[in-house]
């Protein structure tokens, strides 16, 4: 069954994830480790910190090659124990 997201994308395409989690360097390191494992090509990463300094908002842009890759990364990023939400 196709997802709505699948209907909107033409592969390969740029795709951005936003990961919000605890403001700890381990969060960024784990995100990079996971992305490097699944994405053989380059990616772009940017980090913002919340006003109170409790959370990081990490944006990762990849060149996605298929919907399964996108879904798998969502799952892996969400399973990081420091993560609150993945958009």
Cα 4 versus chain centre, distance: 19
How does pLDDT run across 71-82, given as a tens digit for each residue?
Answer: 999 999 999 999
In the sheet with 55-64, reading across from the earlier edge strand, the strands are: 43-49, 55-64, 13-22, 83-86
Please give the tally of structural domains in the chain. 1
Question: What is the predicted pLDDT for the residue at 9?
Answer: 87
pLDDT per position as a tens digit, 6-44: 678 899 999 999 999 999 999 999 999 999 998 877 899
Give the span between the Cα atoms of 52 and 32, in whole angstroms: 24
Q: Whole-prediction pTM value?
A: 0.88
Q: What is the CATH number of the domain that holds 59?
A: 3.30.70.260
Cβ–Cβ < 8 Å for 27, 54:
no
User: What range does the domain containing 19 cover?
Assistant: 4-86
| Statement: residue 1 has pLDDT above 60 | no
| The predicted structure's pLDDT at residue 58 | 98
């Amino acid at each position: 069954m196709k997802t709505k997201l699948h209907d909107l994308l033409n592969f390969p395409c740029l795709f951005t994830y936003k990961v919000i989690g605890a403001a700890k360097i381990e969060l960024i390191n784990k995100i990079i480790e996971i992305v490097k494992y699944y994405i053989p090509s380059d990616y772009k990463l940017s980090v913002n910190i919340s006003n109170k300094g409790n959370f990081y908002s990490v944006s990762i842009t990849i060149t996605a090659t298929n919907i399964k890759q996108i879904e798998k990364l969502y799952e892996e990023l969400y399973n990081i124990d420091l993560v609150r939400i993945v958009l």
